[in-house]
Amino acid sequence: MATSERSFSDVLEDIVGNIQAIVRSEVRLAKTEIREEAGKAKSAGMLVGAGAVCGIFGTFFLLFAIVYGLAKLIPDWAAALAVAVVLAIAAGALVGAGLKRFKQVHPTPDKTIESIKDNVEWAKQQTK
């Protein structure tokens, strides 16, 4: 036996150290992916929130229109209905845009999962 060969415990320490480094890297990658997806969710949430606010104001305008009306030009009920329809269309468009963006959010860290699979495969090859 040559004296330059490494002991089993040294090899085992290296393996454990490499696995720890891999796990740390995977955690950093997962954090990065989740942070990116959270940014997308924030943007979509803001659009949905804006749509909801428009819907609430639409309700208020509907009430004001019923109370005050535009009786001089058209009947009261027609004025209230016109305001409500316009704001309902705006609210629907904003909520629709927000929901469309929510569909683009992927909460699972796909890159991390793929990388972990690759690392597990690599570790299996190293232990053969």
Q: How does the average pLDDT of the chain come out, rounded?
A: 84
pTM, to two decimals: 0.43
d(CA 29, CA 120): 16
Q: Given this model, what pLDDT does residue 1 score?
A: 45
Sign of CA dihedral 120, 123, 125, 127: negative
Q: Given this model, what pLDDT does residue 66 score?
A: 65
d(CA 82, CA 73): 13
Q: Is the confidence at residue 118, as pLDDT, over 60? A: yes
98-103 contacts at long range (C-beta below 8 A, 24 or more positions apart): 98/44, 98/45, 98/46, 98/47, 98/48, 98/49, 98/50, 98/51, 99/44, 99/48, 101/40, 101/43, 101/44, 101/47, 102/41, 102/44, 102/45, 102/48
Q: Given this model, what pLDDT does residue 93 score?
A: 94
Q: Which two tokens stand for residue 110?
A: 């796909």
pLDDT tens digits for 70-105?
667 888 778 778 878 888 999 999 999 999 998 888
Query: Helix or strand or coil: residue 109?
Result: coil
pLDDT tens digits for 38-53?
888 898 999 999 999 9
Structural contact between residues 26 and 47, judged by C-beta atoms closer than 8 angstroms:
no
